[in-house]
Amino acid sequence: MIALTEDDDAFFIPDIQYLVFRKCPSDWRLKPHRVSNNDITYVVRGRACYTIGPESHEMSSGSLLCLTEGDSKAAITFPDRLMHCYSVNFILKNTAGEEMSLPLPQVSNIGMKNDLVRLFNDLVYTRQERPPGSGIKCKGLLILLLHRLLELTVYNTSAPGRDYRIQKAVTYIARHYAERITVKDLAAIAGLNPAYFGVLFKQVTGLTVNRYIAVRRVENAKDLLQSGGWLVSEAAEACGFCDVYHFYKQFKAIMGVSPSRYISKTNG
């Protein structure tokens, strides 16, 4: 099995073998066995004692267990604090068909993350209900989940940049950048006071709300201009700019060149 390195951008394909949200009864125990494939457990409530090889680890709310093929595992819950957890076992292959493992630590405590819980819930629901397109959606959700775990444990990009409230606002901007968006609207989506939202947004993204929206709009306009067939005025309007002069000004400030100059450079 090949280990995926931190700098590896290779596309990989997950194949879920089993997935469960487990609410342990008082007599729950996991007999010693060798793990197959990649195996992840995220504890969201209660406690359990996991034995990994010769070492024992007490797992509680926010604990993460990431094992690979061949690891030895056994576990038992505490009767007074029964464990609730998500567990997923999956095969990971690159485009060459080679099985891969992720550089995740075996045992860590990442704390309770609302976005992780939502991803797990969505994954469990989609796999159980199997709506149309569920196969593709499950693979996509698992990739998002794995990326988030890498952020939390390997890439060190989780604090404070992954505040779920700001993430909701950023997602809204990505979907509605061509429409009129106000700080008040985004603050309501995030469930925050507008003044506090503005401060937190800049802490997380490094940009003010209006600057962030302008950057997203310009980046989308750049893609339209690069694709050909779009006049500058058309690209500006399609990306939420009501004033072409303002679009020129924002485009040059962000891209370093005017839209017309960018088109001539692109067409080379």
- Rounded to an integer, the average pLDDT of 150-175 is 77
Q: Alpha helices of 76-208 — where are they, by DSSP H?
A: 114-129, 134-150, 164-176, 183-190, 194-205
Q: Which residue has the tokens 């603050």?
A: 187
Calculate the alpha carbon distances from 253 to 153, 201, 210, 235, 249 in Å. Answer: 36, 21, 14, 17, 6
The confidence score (pLDDT) of residue 153 equals: 86
Handedness of CA 41, 73, 6, 127 (dihedral sign): negative
The confidence score (pLDDT) of residue 88 equals: 97
Strand segments (E) across 24-71: 29-34, 38-45, 47-52, 55-60, 63-67
The β-bridge partners of 64 are 42, 108
Distance CA 118, CA 137 (A): 14
The confidence score (pLDDT) of residue 210 equals: 95
- Rounded to two decimals, the pTM is 0.63
Distance CA 237, CA 240 (A): 5
pLDDT value at 160 more than 50: no
Calculate the alpha carbon distances from 140 to 3, 167, 213 in Å. Answer: 20, 18, 26
- Does residue 179 or residue 10 have the better pLDDT? 179
Give the lowest-confidence range in 99-108, 115-124, 203-212, 258-267: 258-267
The helix/strand/coil state of 22 is: strand
188-226 b/e with 16+ CB inside 10 Å = b? ebbebebeebbebbeebbeeebebbbbbbbbebbbebbe
Kindly report, residue by residue over 37-82, the tens digit of the pLDDT: 999 999 999 999 999 999 999 999 999 999 999 999 999 999 999 9
Distance CA 215, CA 207 (A): 9
The gap from C-alpha 217 to its chain's centroid, in whole angstroms, comes to 22
Phi, then psi, of 166 in degrees rounded to 5? -70, -35
Kindly report, residue by residue over 215-240, the tens digit of the pLDDT: 999 999 998 998 888 899 999 999 99
Lookup: tokens for 69 = 């093929």
Distance CA 100, CA 14 (A): 10
DSSP state, residue 175: H
Between strands 29-34 and 38-45, the pairing is unpaired
What pLDDT band is residue 159 in, cutting at 50, 70 and 90? very low
Give me the percent of the chain exceeding a pLDDT of 90. 72
Between strands 2-3 and 100-101, the pairing is parallel
- Rounded to an integer, the average pLDDT of 140-163 is 78
